[in-house]
Amino acid sequence: MTSRNPRRLRRCQLTSAILATFLVSGMAFAQDTSGNTEDDQDDNQTTTQQSQNLDKIEVVGSRIKRAEVEGPSPVTIITSEQIEREGFNTVYDALETISQNTGFGQNDFNAAGGFTPNASVINLRGLGPGRTLLLVNGRRANDYPFPYNGRSNFQNFNSIPAAAVQRIEILAGGASAIYGSDAVAGVINVVLKTNYEGNLLKIKGQTSTQGGRDVGDLQWVGGKTGDNWSVTYAFESYNAEPLFGYQRDFMDSAADNPSPPGVNGAPGFGGYQPPIGIQIRRISATGGTLGYVQPAGRNCNASELYRPHTYTSSATGATLGPGCGYDRYPAEQTVANGNNDLSGYIYGTYNFTDNLEGWASVMAYNSRSRLSGGVEQWFGGPQPNATFYAPNLGIRALPIRALTPESYGGSEGTYQKFEENSYDLAFGLRGTIFDRFDWDWTIGGAKYQAIRDRPRMTVSGATNYFLGTRLGTTGVGPYTGLAGIPNGLPVYNLNLDRFYGPISAADYASMSTMVHYNGKSENAATSLVVSGDLFELPAGPVGFATVLEANRQSYDLESDARIFPSVREIYNLTGTGGGGKRNRYAIGAEVNIPVFSMLNVSLAGRLDKYDDITDVDDAKTWGVGLEFRPFDNLLIRGNYATSFKAPDMHYVFSERSGSFGTITDFYRCFVNGIAATACGGSGGTYNYSAFTTSEGQPGLREETGKSWTAGVVWDITDTLSVSADYYEIDLEDVVTVQAGGAILNAEYGCLSGTGTYPNGTPFPFAPGSAFCAETLSRIDRDPNTGAITEIRSGPINLASQGTKGIDATARYSLTTDRFGSFSTSLSWSHVLEQTQRASQGDPILSYRDFNTNSDYRSRVRWSTNWRKGDWDATVLMNRIGSFPLWSPSNTNFTSGQIDSRVGPQITWNMTVGKKITDALYVRANINNVFDRIAPRDQTFNSYPYFWQGYSPIGREIGLELSYKFN
């Protein structure tokens, strides 16, 4: 092959080593031959191999091999050594801290009761996890079987064994012209180890200083190479204990609420009141709450977790009546999953001739996990939130009984259990033709299956236990003419002994069942890539790459039939099912043209053809990149690309699903003259459980987008370099699901005439706009009472979404004879704007600083490494920028006593390593050194009383031993 030698940034010896080992946009570790760590042998081997073939480096963002790592688009690279040095255990842990990960992603904490609580996602640029493409060794990873929040498809970063990782490449920008659908916000390529020689065994233990969450990790990496063959293998066993909310004193009780109604600037009256443990509500003929009753002789002794409390109206301060409070109720859920994960990876090569090599790889993953969404609550019957006439009480009743851990035989009895199995098998051939073109043919298949089981009360079981046999119907026979009681209600005698008495594990077993889910996703693909140099120009060779791809993708989600909206046999639980398949074919090409000695131009184009039931037929994408090097040490770069995303399969094929959830009926409050700020505390007429449904839409269109970046890379000295890039991404026809709460907030804005959302922020849509028409069509109300009977959520193509911001990085290294070698890397990302337009003709909404937006406005990541002799140490700082106040209606804010934003969060990790012998190495780590949890927001009155993107685990300490052997 002709060697390419265009003008490049001037590099010192250190920087050349960094290039060779791919330590770019990460920690630039200074090399000290007298102080090798346990990974240095492998890194040095890689350095030697790569330094001899710098013209064949391929980095995410292009299929053209090139000598320069810095290209037209900024790329961040994290090495396996960096993951370890910075104290991380998993691929997700490391990726979660990168500065470009400004979008909030569901984690263990906020997903305990959701649809995808055993998977971890990365959300580059805040555009959604499904718009970040995950590749493993350059191949598209298979989807997680359960859709994200029951909605969209995505990939699970937990399924990648950290033991097998060589490096991770991150391109934060549109790259559909190279990789096709989903490469909208960026691409993450996890490169696994190859050509490994020897064996390395690592054992790590880690625990939290606040208690709980013990972690154990065992890794074995090894390999062998021969004259014409090689084999590399990696195995990992990762085990972590679950952590419950009640194991942290700052979130073990609802009493940790900093601003209950009427306290600390919160609107309303009454102060803190414990969540309901046992309560009977007396309901009026129109469905409002008249007060709470507690029959004579009944008390709160069923569990030590209950306590007597006289409840008042948070809207008016009026006394409502007695009940039993349950302060620990919200803290019964796990905030970190328990995991027992096994993973393995094998990669082998065989050289048939000098120009023909065969290879094969297998990656497998098994996970047995457990988590808890908390204890259940029986609130009315037979269906949730349903009232009945109770002759033994003489009232229309809505009884509420929250279960305690004793009813499950302990907290462990509340566990939902997951068993996941996935494998990825691929093999291929590669070689060189005409002494100038490399070719690589790959065929592979992947399957991911997940089974989920969770305990749950049944409608019939709970009804039999608490109510017994139905006695009749009001307005019929002996139940005719009851004063203040509407006709048509079921009649039951509430079993007071059971309702107020202890509920044992045997009792719970008699009224519950195990709900079963089974999800499966499959992916089969083949591709052919040809790359090389087409011809010579005066400034150098024209690089070229072309790709042909064919792919078949399918998924099947079988949920327990008893949770379907048309059945509803499981109490307070509905779900979703679905299944479908699609075929995709693609052809693409790239060229890299050295126009003259200082200017390179890259061009890329791709055509994707879809064969499925959607309105997507084909998608054409293209991109152009510029690299201008006026001096050896200065690069001015830019890139423009179009992108697309085919509708996620579950958006298209999902069956009708539904769920119950407590809503605040802001428009009903408006009609009855109650201010929106007081609506949340105005009783059961305005705060009640509503039914929300959703189903797939085959008519969805593909999302289309464009992105561009412009920036500069400057090697100021041999040891100091800086880079800065501006980015902008705009998407059209964005597919999103309108959540029930968002629909109700928008209904208020459309119908109230106030020009605001319920929280007081401006409402940007006119009452007669297309957005309002679409919103109002999604709500059904009872014509007699005005109560909501159904909210129809679901996927729709919104008009547009966009984001823009700045990334900057600085790297510096210093080597001294006396004090050793130092290197440091600082990266910063700042979101300048986030915009959305709900439909054509509606105004553009700038939502970056809305309190309803959970994305990060800025992130800073600073990592510093020191090495001398047999010792090394690393310090990592991770800073998440400020957040808007949770509740801008808080009077402490409106009166100017507090700012509109809460402060940033800064956490520190520290590791120290020592080479004991040539074979034995030890490393100690402290993660979150100062035990920081979250910035205080005195208006955050929803559990856990801080934003759930923060980790509640706190400080962790760990020790790792590494041992090399042949």
| pLDDT tens sequence across 544-572 | 999 999 999 999 999 999 998 778 899 99
For residue 112, name the pLDDT band (cuts at 50, 70, 90).
low
Asked if 700 and 671 touch (Cβ cutoff 8 Å), the reply is no
Q: Which amino acid makes up residue 546?
A: T
pLDDT value at 30 more than 50: no
**DSSP code, position 51:** H
The token duo for 298 is: 């009944």
Distance in angstroms (rounded) separating the CA atoms of residues 362 and 430? 18
Residue 792 has pLDDT above 50, yes or no: yes
Closest CA to 614 of 547, 687, 698: 698
Mean predicted confidence (pLDDT) in 140-148 = 90
Q: Stretch 439-465: mean pLDDT, rounded?
A: 97
Cross-strand pairs, 644: 704
Nearest to 670 by CA among 566, 563, 785, 747: 747
Query: Rounded mean pLDDT of the chain?
Result: 89
**pLDDT exceeds 70 at position 442:** yes
Q: Distance between CA atoms of 758 and 744, rounded to whole angstroms?
A: 9
pTM beyond 0.95, yes or no? no
Residue from 12, 167, 9 nearest 94 by CA = 167
Which two tokens mark 905? Answer: 């969060």
SS3 state of residue 615? coil
Give the separation between CA 778 and CA 791, rounded to whole angstroms.
Answer: 6
User: Which distant-in-sequence residues (6+ apart) come within 8 Å of 409 by Cβ?
Assistant: 505
- Model pLDDT, residue 55: 47
* Averaged pLDDT, 9-27: 35
The string of pLDDT tens digits covering residues 728-740 is 999 999 887 777 8
Is residue 8 scored above 70 in pLDDT? no
**Statement: residue 536 has pLDDT above 50:** yes
Percentage of the chain lying above the pLDDT 70 cut:
93
User: pLDDT, tens digit, for every residue of 841-895?
Assistant: 678 889 999 888 889 999 999 999 999 999 999 999 999 999 999 998 899 999 9
Question: What DSSP element (H or E) covers 846?
Answer: strand 845-846
Interacting residues of 98 by C-beta distance below 8 A, sequence separation 6+: 76, 78, 170, 827, 859, 861
Least confident among 50-54, 418-422, 703-707: 50-54
CA distance 715 to 185: 28
Q: Give the number of other CB atoms < 10 A from CB of residue 440.
A: 18
Strand partners, 609: 585, 618
Q: Are strands 416-433 and 437-457 parallel, antiparallel or unpaired?
A: antiparallel
**Is the pLDDT confidence value at 178 over 50?**
yes
Q: Of residues 799 and 593, which shows the higher confidence score?
A: 593
- Report how far residue 646's alpha carbon sits from residue 612's, in angstroms, rounded to the nearest whole number: 11
- Using one digit for the tens of pLDDT, what is the confidence trace for 804-841? 999 999 999 999 999 999 999 999 999 999 998 877 66
Task: Report pLDDT for 115.
Answer: 64
Please report how many Cα atoms fall inside a 13 Å half-sphere around the Cα of residue 475, on the Cβ side: 8
Q: What is the pLDDT of residue 948?
A: 85
pLDDT at residue 680 tops 90: no
13-17, 78-82, 407-411, 786-790: the lowest-pLDDT one: 13-17
